[in-house]
Amino acid sequence: MAQTWVSLKHPDGEVAKDEQHAIRCAVYTDGQPTQAPDNLDDISDVLKQPGKLVWLDVASPTAVDYALLKNEFDLHPLALEDAATPHERPKIEAFDGYYFLIVHGATPTPTGIKGSEIAIFAAANYIITIRRDSSFSLDEIEKRWLARPAESRKSSSGLLYVILDTIVDRFFDVGDAIDDEIQKLEAALFRGAAVVTVIPRKIFSLKRDLQYFRRAVAPLRDVLNAILREDIPLFAHTDLAYFRDVYDHAIRLLDQIDAARDLVNGALDLNLSLVANRQNEVVKQLTIIATVFMPLTFITGFFGQNFAFMVAHIQTPTSFYIFGFGTEILAIALLVIFFKVRRWF
């Protein structure tokens, strides 16, 4: 079954259907897809009809779109203001007859986590999804929603559950991607990779992704708790079991995030220890070299003095090699034996 999306027109007749800005509508009658209106200002008439469920999706909305949404759905100005404000914290607010939610979606990318904000208005007979980032696709949500039995597609609670459940399931993909990166990081550390530049940069990149990830997931507990507490009697009591399932998944995600944060912090500590050990090894090697040259410097300086004994006794090449080079080689040999006995290397 294909999703019956209709690109809506503004009252001035313009159709918003470019890649960035799009307004789409799908209408269900007793769970079955039916023809949606092609004008945004006709939706209020559809909502008055019994058995109707409207799903309106707005991507990259404009100020005109928000004004029309306010008129057609009688939405509170403060809720619309929050929907238009970027970087809002995930939350849920109960208004007269509908919930207003802000949730964050996440998608794993080769460079990290790509986040998206979605504002949702959920009433008994409509769901409005507002996506500031049109790249966050609703294809998986549509697929799951249409795969449900027609009986479960009669209420907006089923659609809201599918939206939240799909977003949370995408979080698991992000969590798995982060776990893979942590395993690669640990393997690189124990392999002796470059701990000075590349590894620290990767560690702090993972810490930043986990921080955003937790900020997106943790507030979902409050969002789902408000629905489960039935702050407003909007959904049937039998539908709450689905939201409890999403709540359990969110708790599992938080546990996974906390475990990943501990692993990343442990990797950071290990990296610092490796750096310190490497510095100690370098200092030890430099100390050994300096210690070896100290007696050599003394010997060469000693023989460089114009003593009568030396002038009288070191006159042949043999005596020069014995007293000159021989004492230096003897000093090096004694130092090596001393270092070995002390187990300095």
Contact 263, 182 (CB under 8 A): yes
**pLDDT confidence of residue 245:** 92
Q: How high is the pLDDT of residue 198?
A: 77
Q: Which residues have a Cβ under 8 Å from the Cβ of 1 and sit 6 or more positions away?
A: 33, 146
Q: Note the maximum CA span of the chain.
A: 124
Q: Which residues of 101-126 are buried (b: 16+ CB within 10 A; e: fewer)?
A: bbbbbbbbeeebbebbbbbbbbbbbb
* pLDDT for the residue 165: 93
Handedness of CA 145, 93, 37, 28 (dihedral sign): positive
What number of other Cβ atoms are within 10 A of residue 243's Cβ? 21
The CA-atom distances, in angstroms, between 254 and each of 35, 119, 218, 224, 247 are 41, 22, 7, 14, 11
Helix (H, G, I), strand (E, B), or coil: what is residue 121? strand
Angle between helices 220-228 and 156-191 (to 10 degrees): 150
> Which tokens hold the place of 162?
């599918």
Distance between CA atoms of residues 267 and 205, nearest Å:
13
The string of DSSP codes covering 211-223 is HHHHHHHTTHHHH
What local confidence, expressed as pLDDT, does residue 249 receive? Answer: 92
Task: State the pLDDT at residue 232.
Answer: 78
The sign of the torsion formed by the CA atoms of 168, 169, 173, 178 equals: positive
Residues of the chain with pLDDT under 50: 1, 13, 15, 17
pLDDT in tens, 99-151: 999 999 888 777 778 888 899 999 989 999 998 877 778 888 988 998 888 88
CA dihedral 169, 174, 176, 178 (to 10 degrees): -160
pLDDT at 1: 44
* Measured distance between the N- and C-terminal CA atoms of the chain, rounded to whole angstroms: 73
Find residue 33's DSSP bridge partners.
Answer: 28
Crossing angle of helices 240-303 and 198-217, in 10° steps, is 160
Whether residue 49 contacts residue 56, with contact meaning beta carbons closer than 8 Å, is answered with no
pLDDT at 20: 66
Give the pLDDT confidence score for residue 121 in this predicted structure.
Answer: 95
> According to CATH, where is 3.30.460.20 located in the chain?
6-274
Report the pLDDT value the prediction gives residue 193, as an integer from 0 to 100.
Answer: 57
Per-residue pLDDT reduced to its tens digit, 40-79: 778 888 888 888 899 999 988 888 888 888 888 889 999 9
For residue 122, the model assigns a pLDDT of 93
Which CATH class for the 6-274 domain? alpha beta
**How far apart are alpha carbons 264 and 283 in whole angstroms?**
28
Q: Which helix (H) or strand (E) holds 205?
A: helix 198-217
